[in-house]
Amino acid sequence: MIWLIVATLSQGDTPPGKVLSAIEERLEKAKTVKVSSSLEITVTDEAGTSTSDRLTGSLMVRQMDKMVFTVKSEPPDPDRTLYLHWEELRVTENSSRGTTFGVHPSNLKKILLQACVRGGSAGAIGLLGEGVNFKSRPRDSYNYPLPAASEEERLEPTLSTTDVQAAPDVEGLKAITYKTVLYGSNDSCRVTLLYDAKTLKPKKRTLKWKRGDLSTVVVETYSEFETDVEIPNLAFWEAFGCSAEEITFRKIEESILAAKTLRVNVSSDATLRWDKTELKCHFKGELLLAEGHRIHLSGLMTQDGKETKGSLISDGKKLAQRPESEGEPKLSPKTMDNFIRTAVARSGILGGQLIAGLAMAFETDRERDFREFFSVGGFENGDDEKGMKTLTYTLRMSGDNGQVKIWYDPKSLKLLKRTLSFKGGGPGSEFTETYEDFTVNTDISEDKFKLPAEK
């Protein structure tokens, strides 16, 4: 099933001892990787009795973004899938259980790629089964916080290769043989790899090893082995087994996160309750976002009859907020842009402010996105309303589950309305947000992103 990789190399023979390292180097540089293969596994005991299994597999990688690794048995059994979305990592063994790793995704990706290059699917499966300490998580959410850098488990490539030799050509293909030890085993494994001499693309791999009185042979044949080809988001979502409802949400979210510009005119009403206190808020304003982390958020907030005008402006280099909030951390334009886009996609503008206090209390800046603070899952379609489609899902923030309903245009996927309600350990709070204008990739005047004159 799975892979090895490499973009086209210079023509000519590569010394046998450098074939695997050359593949690994190209694999790390490739912008995308797409591999499909079939496997036949035969196990034979000392009496000569054999049993066979057939598998199909696929690997898709998009540099610094997404990775999905799938192996399926024939006839089908529950999938074993690894999915990496840069700062998101989840392994599922069936539709009701999810798993995350205590390692940074970029570290695990590097090691998994090496395992696939040296051991093929068997090497990758061995890594997933034995090389990492899995942590169980529920299936209904695809976002989980990663461990802090000090708590991350750093894995190092350990799938060594020895005794690398040239082997006779087979039907115009070059061949090498070598020994390796698969993850989770002390058994020496002899591998034969057939590859194209010009491109170094793997074509076929055979692994043989013996444990006790059982001899195992794995033959993996690659039907597709492409690099630097376009792989759309939908291909990853479908490979990961996302429901149609979740795919709809992801399309909406992706349009917001990837938008070159975004203009939203919003009207929000909120009723906040804690202990015996109730506070009613209304916000009406305009949100403008543009490439280069430029931001314009302005509007009028009314709380129990008291009106306050406010604005948040970024020219891409500096942030200016009016009125200023004492003690509020100074965030970079990149971080603030990241936060606002995530809030618009998942919680709403006003609802996101509740999460902001928690998320931003721990750090003033970050490279990772904020989706770990807006964990979502449990997507379901709602009833159509006046030509609008509806979608409901659960939003977990600050340790509490909120219920979200969005109304959207079925053709453009533009958001039209959102409600959010959650208990928060008390009597509960509700938000209703109506989007009078929600337009992506529209023209916005540069004047909107000019910082106010400093006093």
Task: Report the pLDDT value the prediction gives residue 330, as an integer from 0 to 100.
Answer: 66
Q: What is the mean pLDDT of residues 160-188?
A: 86
Tens digit of pLDDT for each residue in 15-35? 888 999 998 888 888 888 888
State yes or no: pLDDT of 43 exceeds 70. yes
Tens digit of pLDDT for each residue in 339-365? 899 899 999 998 877 555 555 554 555
Angle 90-108-186 from CA coordinates, rounded to 5°: 110
Buried b or exposed e, range 194-210, using 16+ CB within 10 angstroms? bbbbebbbbbbbbbebe
| Residue keyed to tokens 């503008």 | 349
State yes or no: pLDDT of 37 exceeds 80. yes
Mean pLDDT taken over the chain: 79
Angle 349-355-357 from CA coordinates, rounded to 5°: 110
Task: Report the pLDDT value the prediction gives residue 150, as an integer from 0 to 100.
Answer: 40
- At 128, the pLDDT band (50, 70, 90 cuts) reads low
- Of the candidates 141, 412, 84, the one whose C-alpha atom is nearest the C-alpha of residue 252 is 412
State yes or no: pLDDT of 74 exceeds 90. no
In percent, the amount of the chain with pLDDT more than 70 equals 72
Angle 133-136-139 from CA coordinates, rounded to 5°: 140
State yes or no: pLDDT of 326 exceeds 70. no
H helices of 286-361, in order, are 333-346, 349-361
From CA 144, how far away is CA 142, in angstroms rounded? 7
Residues in Cβ contact with 447 at an 8 Å cutoff, skipping those fewer than 6 apart: none
In order of their start, the domains of the chain are: 16-232 (2.50.20), 244-449 (2.50.20)
Residues in Cβ contact with 129 at an 8 Å cutoff, skipping those fewer than 6 apart: 183, 184
- At 183, the pLDDT band (50, 70, 90 cuts) reads low
- Of the candidates 411, 255, 409, 234, the one whose C-alpha atom is nearest the C-alpha of residue 344 is 255
